[in-house]
Structures are given as structure tokens and as C-alpha cells.
Amino acid sequence: MILSQILSRVSILENLGSLEKEVSEIVFDSRKVVKNALYAALKGSVSDGHLYIDSAIENGANVIVCEDFPEKINEAVTYIKVKNASKTLGKIASNFYGNPSEKLNLIGITGTNGKTSTATLLFDVFQNL
């Protein structure tokens, strides 16, 4: 999928490089990067994904989503700076996989009594539609 499509509805602070690159996969573990992958550098409580940007590029990443640009910029790589990489990763993944949550139909059943019976009846009704 083309990067510009993946970034639809994503708030970007700044970008370096082309947005017309092909992205084959989305990863947040630099050890699992494959050729033409988008690597999201996430800041965690134990480790900071920004420390592994060089490793991700060596493994084939051609797009880096980060909160801070690295000191060393690789001209062959596109860097996307965002406010919160973790939140942005969710939007990027949704776009990459065709926004599957937009196709869901959900029904909630609440109350003290009769939830199981109501759910069973509704299941049968919806199966026969």
C-alpha cells in the first residue's frame, strides 16, 4: 500500500522524504522488520523504540514513524514525526488493513434478567436475515 494512503486522517507534525513509497508491512519491533516495512518507534516504560531506528533501517524499513527525528537521517528513508506514535500506530494499522472496524455492527444488551435469552433470540433472527 502507498504511504500517503496509510497516512490518511493521521495528524503529522513534520515529514522528511517521499509519501509515495510502497509499504509492505507495519511493525513496532525492529527485529521483525522486513523490506519496505513501516517501523513505528514507540516510547515504552522499559525501552524507547527510537533507540532501534538504525536497526530497523538496516533490516529494511523504508518509513519511520517517530516522535523525535533521529540525529542521523538516511536520505533513502521517509521519516514521519507525530505527537504520539502509539496512538498514531492504531490509525495507521486501521488504514493499512482497510478500516475493518467501520464494517462492524454491534448490539449491546443490558439489564438484570433475560440477557442470555434476548441474545440467543437476536442471534437466530440475525442469522436468518
Each residue's pLDDT tens digit, 68-106: 999 999 999 999 999 999 999 999 999 999 999 989 888
Residue 78, judged by CB atoms within 10 A of its CB (0-12, 13-18, 19+), counts as: buried
User: Looking at residue 62, what is its pLDDT?
Assistant: 98
User: Looking at residue 105, what is its pLDDT?
Assistant: 84
Distance CA 100, CA 41 (A): 24
User: Which amino acid makes up residue 50?
Assistant: H
Q: pLDDT tens across 3-53, in order?
A: 999 999 999 999 999 999 999 999 999 999 999 999 999 999 999 999 999
Distance CA 70, CA 55 (A): 12
- State the pTM of this model: 0.83
CB 39 within 8 A of CB 65: yes
Q: Closest by alpha carbon to 79, among 34, 21, 25? A: 21
Query: What ranges do the domains of the chain cover?
Result: 3-102
**Residue 95, C-alpha cell as written in the block:** 488504514
| Paired strand residues for 64 | 39, 79
For 123, the 3-state DSSP assignment is helix
For 124, the 3-state DSSP assignment is helix
More confident residue, 105 or 121: 121
Distance CA 95, CA 99 (A): 5
User: Looking at residue 64, what is its pLDDT?
Assistant: 99
User: Looking at residue 107, what is its pLDDT?
Assistant: 86
State which fold the 3-102 domain adopts.
Answer: 3.40.1390
